[in-house]
Amino acid sequence: MNIAASIDHTILKPTTTIAEIEQCCSEAVQYGFAAVCVPPPFVKRAATILAPTNVKIATVVGFPFGYSATEAKVAETILAIVDGAHEIDMVINLIALRQADYAYLQKEVSLLVEVCHNKGRILKVIIESGILYPEEIISCCEKLGPLGIDFMKTSTGYAEKGASIEAVHLMKKHLPASVRIKASGGIRDYATAIAMVNAGANRLGCSSSVAIVSGAPDHQLGGY
């Protein structure tokens, strides 16, 4: 399979430079990645570089800890869309989750769904599965999945544990069929990437994207 078409080529470190963004965009075009996922201040630059291509622009909201006020997340999302983002990866309020305050989480997610979908954008909801109990992952799927989200995403990559096959299996089992899955965090080689896809992931968030594609048996490029 062409694994590149399932990858969000990601650079989210706090010291990211314009030169690194330009390289990330260039690699996304060369290898045919689905999207680049860049810090909010670089969305406009990435959108300009990638305008002639089919590569999508993704960025993060409430990142990486999720405890920003809902109003702040809405404002971040609106600005990202204005700057040219096609896809929003939003971290849910993990404090609310740990307290089982699903009413708060449902309101937060519903607002972000409305903002994104009114502008024809994609919303990915990050639950940080690596630090959750299995029953919390299941509850996120059952309570947030039906709200119209486009993807549920495993991880930010900043917690002590990222994506796992077990978490992807749980999400696949308990999410509505309409919700896709993005596995992210700790996916650094082709074998791990393909295992995530086989477990049910539709998209992968990776900073080691070039190494993953280069490790594919056929090493086929899908550039534009």
In this prediction, residue 222 carries a pLDDT of: 44
- List domains and CATH numbers for the chain: 3-214 (3.20.20.70)
Q: Which DSSP letter does residue 3 get?
A: G
Nearest to 73 by CA among 87, 57, 92: 92
Model confidence at 120, pLDDT cuts 50, 70, 90, reads very high
For the chain, counts of helices (H) and of strands (E): 9, 8
Model confidence at 221, pLDDT cuts 50, 70, 90, reads very low
Percent of the chain with pLDDT over 90: 95
The residues pairing with 57 across neighbouring beta strands, listed in sequence order, are 36
Percent of the chain with pLDDT over 70: 97
Q: Sign (positive/negative) of CA torsion 68, 73, 79, 81? A: positive
180-198: burial string, b at 16+ Cβ within 10 Å, e else = bbbbbbbbeebebbbbbbe
Model confidence at 219, pLDDT cuts 50, 70, 90, reads low
Q: Which residues contact 106 (CB under 8 A, 6 or more apart)?
A: 143, 144, 147
pLDDT, tens digit (0-9, with 9 covering 90-100), for 35-56:
999 999 999 999 999 999 999 9
Q: Exposure of 140 by Cβ count < 10 A (0-12 exposed, 13-18 middle, 19+ buried)?
A: buried
Active site residues: 89, 153, 182
Q: Sign (positive/negative) of CA torsion 99, 126, 200, 158? A: negative
pLDDT, tens digit (0-9, with 9 covering 90-100), for 57-100:
999 999 999 999 999 999 999 999 999 999 999 999 999 999 99
Q: Answer yes or no: is pLDDT of 18 > 80.
A: yes
